Structure 1
Amino acid sequence: MPHSLWKGAISFGLVHIPVALYPASREDAIDFDWLDKRSMDPVGYKRINKRTGKEITKENIVKGVKYEDDRYVVLSDDEIKKAYPKTTQTIEIEAFVKATDIPFVHLERPYYLGPIAKGEKVYALLRETLLASKRIGIARVVIQTKEHLAALIPVGPALMLNTLRWPSEIRPWDELKLPAEGAKAAGLSERELTMASQLVDDMSADFDPGQYSDKFRDAVMSLIETKAQAGQLSEVKSLETAEDSGGGGSNVIDLTELLKRSLNKGQGAGPDKASKPAAKKATAKTAARKTTAARKRA
């Protein structure tokens, strides 16, 4: 049983469900340590006063928010807690919405909710009701010292709490140079749309997370094991194939040709008949260049 972050309750209307909050994700990245290359000693971190360059102790550090240039408002931990007097152990549902109403960009971090204090039946009632109605709950919750907007989602036998990013935390796309919305405005032809749709249909499948893994991490860990066992260097293989890496030449992308290649690759088909004349022309040009070169040598 993992250690719970806190114990409290889900609250909506008159319903009160006692639950414990558990982390549902974990970091699986490679932990690179900083080392002194001369001695392989670990390199640590110091708290440095940026103006004087001197190290300071933890006891002399306070929390402050810049108000004006070189002027801060300092807040103690108690003042921060008192600023939000509402209990921090309640997941208060404010509305039930369709899951499709929440853009993926708002999803942040998942947590498990487990029933406690004989709350199993009402826990199951909320889970089954959400599944039947195809809705999820939108709630507010305070985790540590930060308030989050969150989605309460039924997943298998569990209720999960997925924190959401606030609208102010999402960068707008106004400054990006994006193609115009709509197929016609973006200059897409019916043929391109049809082929793209066919390619999507051919590649459609049910999502199985077990089929995916961090290939970069696996490659680096394999390299580390090889060096540890044999003491020799070994090159990490690139994840990109030659076909994906691209090359020089024109920057103009023939969308139809790319779709055609993708469809043929997925269907295991041979070269497209339409490409044969182009191939013949390329062969003729190559032969002509060889003949010219031979004449010059003669």
Structure 2
Amino acid sequence: MARTQRSAITFGLVHIPAELYAATQDNDLHFNQLVKGLNERIQYKKTCPSCKKELKNEDIVKGFQYEKDKYVVITDDDFEKIKTDRDRSIQIMLFTGLDDIDPIYYNKSYYILPEKGGEKAFELLRQAMYEEKKVAVGKTVLGNNETLLVLIPQKDGILMETLYYFDEVKEIPKELPKSKPGKEELSMAKQLIDAMDGEFKPEQYKDEYQERLRSMIEKKIEGQEIVAPKQETGSNIIDLMDALKASLDKGGNKKQGRKAAGK
């Protein structure tokens, strides 16, 4: 696994050398755009608007437009020169409860691991947060952006989640309708939740659509005809109470089956 960035965790006078690794990966299939009828891949070339010459990566620099058609060139060295030691470290600003952070703010996951010499302090921080049921809110510079983040202690190691800033999160697009459920409806909804209650085991779930997509591609390569699967018949239940009762019967049967299997 390739390291994303070297860093350090700092709080108070504590300095723990650490390194970041991406914790997730994209397993989805990706497609190219082709010319219809020719099946030739469409090319997107970067060219100079004056001489029309195709450009290589080394021919391209970053520029900031400060007036119409006027730019100032910013190099990688310029970006690095303005970074301080604090920017290169993960600065813990406060400790809080995990439930105090709205999940809408979570963005991307990283594993954070101690570098040589920082193992003891790293484990001390992990265990203290884990036993106190606390997470650490902090910030660092990733690439060229100052990033808000939270460090979450795990049984093994610490997970870092980058966070959106407050002004990056949109408000609910429209006002939620005011509706108060009846006591019987609420009681049955709670029973349904209880009937479907269980332990989350991520290894039990897989992307079934991607599996069907891969199978379809293999059949297309072999020249087979693609046949649409038989569609499941939808329920005609419209009344909320009827839907809850039917769902409860179905969920209850499943839970009884799980209990019987566990005996």
- Shorter-normalised TM range: 0.7 to 0.9
Provide the residue aligned with 1:155 in structure 2: 154
CA deviations 1:97-146 (Å, max 9, x no partner) are: 00000111111100001111222111111111111000000010111111
Provide the residue aligned with 1:138 in structure 2: 137
Q: How many Å apart are 1:34 and its aligned residue? A: 1.4
In structure 1, give the amino acid aligned to 2:149: A
| 1:256 partnered with 2:241 | yes
Q: How many Å apart are 1:167 and its aligned residue? A: 0.7
SS at 1:148 equivalent: strand
1:241 to 206, 224, 232: 232
Q: 1:62 to 1:118 in 2, by over 3 A?
A: closer
Structure 1: tracts of 5 or more residues without a match = 181-185, 248-252, 270-298
Provide the residue aligned with 1:221 in structure 2: 214
1:167-178 residue pairs with structure 2 within 5 A? 167-173=166-172, 175-178=173-176
Paired positions, count: 250
Q: 1:170 to 1:41 in 2, by over 3 A?
A: same
Native 8 Å contact 2:22 2:110 kept in 1: yes
Higher RCO (C-alpha 8 Å, min separation 6): 2
Q: How many Å apart are 1:55 and its aligned residue? A: 7.5
Q: How many Å apart are 1:158 and its aligned residue? A: 1.3
Q: How many Å apart are 1:234 and its aligned residue? A: 1.8
1:71-220 residue pairs with structure 2 within 5 A? 74=72, 76-77=74-75, 78-82=77-81, 84-85=83-84, 87-173=86-172, 175-180=173-178, 186-220=179-213
Provide the residue aligned with 1:16 in structure 2: 15
Native 8 Å contact 2:196 2:252 kept in 1: no
In structure 1, give the amino acid aligned to 2:249: N
Native 8 Å contact 1:10 1:93 kept in 2: yes
Provide the residue aligned with 1:183 in structure 2: none
Provide the residue aligned with 1:250 in structure 2: none
Larger Rg: 1
Native 8 Å contact 2:20 2:110 kept in 1: yes
| 1:232 partnered with 2:224 | yes
Q: 1:189 to 1:18 in 2, by over 3 A?
A: same
